[in-house]
Amino acid sequence: MSLFTPAPEHRFTFGLWTVGNTGRDPFGDAVRPAITAVHTVRHLAKLGAYGVNLHDNDLIPRDASAAERDGIVREFKAALDETGMKVPMATTNLFGDPVFRDGAFTSNDARVRAFALQKTMRAMDLGVELGATTYVFWGGREGVETNAAKDPQESLKWFRDALNFLCEYNIAQGYGYQFALEPKPNEPRGDIFLPTIGHMLAFVYTLDHPDMVGLNPEVAHDQMAGLDFSHGVAQALEAGKLFHIDLNGQKPGRFDQDLRFGSEDVKGAFFLVKLLEDSKWDGMRHFDSHCYRTEDEAGVWEFAKGSMRTYLILKDKVARFNADPEIKALLAELASRGAAPGQRLKYTAESAQELRDRTFDLPAMREKGYDYERLDQLTVEVLLGVR
Ligand code: GLT
Ligand code: MN
Ligand code: MN
């Protein structure tokens, strides 16, 4: 088996809504028939995925009766059992129904806010039935087009109330979910509340149960905001708050393209994989993306295969980067400048006194460059396959 053949141990997951994307966009109709959940599970299993994730309405139509719901769940679970596929993450569609046109947890209509809680509790019940342990909150419609509409402070309080309520529900039901909040700067709303990883992270610590809540950052969402995604992910990781991740591709300054992982900004994708692999992060490598609208179903499976394959190729590049003697020597030299590797400055009365008295060789410190041109060229050469 090739180094780049996906297998369940790689923990690749896809949303039902990703491979199920029919190509509908604001300017055109669907171009592909919807792929059923059962067919998705079977086909992704063949391709080596670990599991699928879903919104309540990816599986259960909005107006299904209780009996229809149970039938659909039974059939879906049978496909999971037959293939060994898992459902590690579940979420709620709080954006498709016109009732959510002004948001869900932050709608100006208190009835909508209450309905959003009801819908989420029911979707949490469904997720648990399918074995999900992570619950994602993407507040796609939690925002405004005009600031005349909402008091942003009040909106944050509504958002917080909703999450506090649902954390209590999680505890009361003994569900054991970890909640993962997904920031996005805009689209479908003109501006969405809690637009970046940093905003979201700060918000988490204002909740009643901050330990239960972390993040689900998405490549495209940070790139839309012009940010370096791996820096945001590193901050979440370092805080112990990377609960889930949405991998995809995006050109900066565009609408939310949700392109195949690694199809744009290969270097950014490389440093993201490096971060996840070097830190031995054991979460799901989830793809929140879809294939080009030009494609038919064959293209959908090419897209799915390509997403996993690119991740594994980049993982191999990370190993090459880490083992490259020239790169290692450059990094070792940087790490040894003026301190033992990993040594940190920590305040004590003695260390402060020593620092006050220390003489620095400033001319030498000013003179020496950092060799980043060479380091980056070597990185590019690793990526281009000549090292
Ligand atoms: C939607 C959105 C994504 C979110 C999904 C979870 S749904 O496709 O574009 O970024 O992660 O609600
Ligand atoms: Mn996403
Ligand atoms: Mn997206």
Average pLDDT on 337-346 reads: 83
Where residue 258 falls (left for φ over 0; alpha for ψ -120 to 50; beta otherwise) is left
Two structure tokens written together for 3: 């180094």
Average pLDDT on 212-221 reads: 98
Q: Which of 140, 155, 151, 139 is nearest to 106 (CA)?
A: 155
User: How high is the pLDDT of residue 183?
Assistant: 98
pLDDT in tens, 325-335: 999 999 999 99
Q: How far is the CA of 138 from the centre of ligand 1 (A)?
A: 6
Q: Which of 263, 198, 204 is nearest to 229 (CA)?
A: 198
Q: What whole-number distance in Å separates Cα of residue 238 and Cα of residue 262?
A: 24
Average pLDDT on 366-381 reads: 98
Contacts of residue 90, defined as CB under 8 A and 6 or more positions apart, other chains included, come to 53, 54, 55, 56, 123, 124, 126, 127, 130, 132, 134, 135, 136
- Whether residue 86 has pLDDT greater than 90: yes
Residues 272 and 151 in one domain: yes
- Whether residue 57 has pLDDT greater than 80: yes
Whole-structure pTM value:
0.97
3-state SS class at 144: strand
Select from 57, 182, 250, 256 the residue to mutate for testing ligand 1; criterion: most ligand atoms less than 8 Å from CB: 182
How would you list the strands of the sheet with 246-247, edge to edge? 213-215, 178-182, 134-138, 89-91, 51-55, 12-15, 285-287, 246-247
User: How high is the pLDDT of residue 1?
Assistant: 63
Q: How far is the CA of 190 from the centre of ligand 3 (A)?
A: 15
Average pLDDT on 175-183 reads: 98
Q: How far is the CA of 7 from the centre of ligand 1 (A)?
A: 25
User: How high is the pLDDT of residue 342?
Assistant: 75
Is 273 inside a domain boundary? Answer: yes
Protein residues placing their CB within 5 Å of the ion ligand 2: 218, 246, 288
Is 3 inside a domain boundary? Answer: no
Is 171 inside a domain boundary? Answer: yes
Is 74 inside a domain boundary? Answer: yes
- Domain boundary (299, 323, 347) is at 323
Mean pLDDT of the chain: 97
User: How high is the pLDDT of residue 339?
Assistant: 81
Pocket of ligand 1 (CB under 6 A): 17, 55, 91, 136, 138, 140, 182, 218, 246, 288
Is 148 inside a domain boundary? Answer: yes
Ligand nearest the Cα of residue 137 is 1
Looking at 39, 43, 55, 258, which residue is catalytic? 55
Residues 340 and 310 in one domain: no
Q: Which of 265, 153, 148, 144 is nearest to 206 (CA)?
A: 153
Is 16 inside a domain boundary? Answer: yes
pLDDT in tens, 297-324: 999 999 999 999 999 999 999 999 999 9
Please count the CA atoms within 13 angstroms of the CA of 14 that sit on its side-chain side. Answer: 31
Q: Give me the domain span that covers residue 268.
A: 8-323
Report which secondary-structure segment, H or E, holds 40: helix 37-47
Residues 243 and 363 in one domain: no
The CA-based angle 37-38-41, given to 5 degrees, is 85
- Domain boundary (323, 346, 363) is at 323
User: How high is the pLDDT of residue 168?
Assistant: 99
- Domain boundary (323, 342, 363) is at 323
Is 110 inside a domain boundary? Answer: yes
- Whether residue 384 has pLDDT greater than 80: yes
The question of whether 55 is a catalytic residue gets the answer: yes
Residues 242 and 353 in one domain: no
Whether the bond into 188 is cis, omega within 30 of 0: yes
Residues 179 and 120 in one domain: yes
Residues 358 and 309 in one domain: no
User: How high is the pLDDT of residue 25?
Assistant: 96
User: How high is the pLDDT of residue 194?
Assistant: 98
Residues 379 and 237 in one domain: no
User: How high is the pLDDT of residue 375?
Assistant: 98
pLDDT in tens, 125-158: 999 999 999 999 999 999 999 999 999 999 999 9
**Distances in Å between the alpha carbon of 283 and those of 215, 219, 269, 292, 341?**
12, 16, 17, 27, 29
Residues 174 and 30 in one domain: yes
Q: How far is the CA of 328 from the centre of ligand 2 (A)?
A: 35
Radius of gyration of the chain (CA): 23
**Which residue CA neighbors atom 4 of ligand 1 most closely?**
138
User: How high is the pLDDT of residue 239?
Assistant: 98
Contact indicator for 258, 290 with CB cutoff of 8 Å: yes
Which CATH number does the domain housing residue 283 bear? 3.20.20.150
How many domains does the structure of the chain reveal? 2
